[in-house]
Amino acid sequence: DSGVTQTPKHLITATGQRVTLRCSPRSGDLSVYWYQQSLDQGLQFLIQYYNGEERAKGNILERFSAQQFPDLHSELNLSSLELGDSALYFCASSSTQNTEAFFGQGTRLTVV
């Protein structure tokens, strides 16, 4: 158990809908990262937060947004969902910005 908790574990929704994925980082970790992993693909970096502030952005679509709250948990919001958004979404956390990251179990999103 990495200590990073993601909910829900599975999510099935229809095209055009909006969903929110939640991540609770390891206790004491200030940095949260979001990654997308499509079937049999690598990990695509989406966005990073550090202590509530956005620090880095990857290939995140405009339909997607995220935030980190004062209690350090983070949410990834995906809207106007398309079939191609079906993927595993991982959250990772690290204690600072330049230490190793630990991953959650992921949320499997299926858009039908």
Partner 1 sequence: GQQLNQSPQSMFIQEGEDVSMNCTSSSIFNTWLWYKQDPGEGPVLLIALYKAGELTSNGRLTAQFGITRKDSFLNISASIPSDVGIYFCAGHAFTSGTYKYIFGTGTRLKVLA
96 and 31 Cβ atoms separated by less than 8 Å: yes
42 is a contact residue toward partner 1 (CB under 8 A): yes
101 is a contact residue toward partner 1 (CB under 8 A): yes
Q: Which residue number, 64 or 90, has a Cβ lying nearer to partner 1? A: 90
48 is a contact residue toward partner 1 (CB under 8 A): yes
4 is a contact residue toward partner 1 (CB under 8 A): yes
29 and 95 Cβ atoms separated by less than 8 Å: yes
Give the SS3 label for residue 60. coil
66 and 74 Cβ atoms separated by less than 8 Å: yes
The alpha carbon of 94 is separated from its chain's Cα centroid by a whole number of angstroms, namely 14
Q: Which residue number, 17 or 51, has a Cβ lying nearer to partner 1? A: 51
Q: Which residues bind partner 1 (CB under 8 A)?
A: 2, 4, 33, 35, 42-45, 48, 55-56, 58-59, 88, 90, 92, 97-98, 100-106, 108
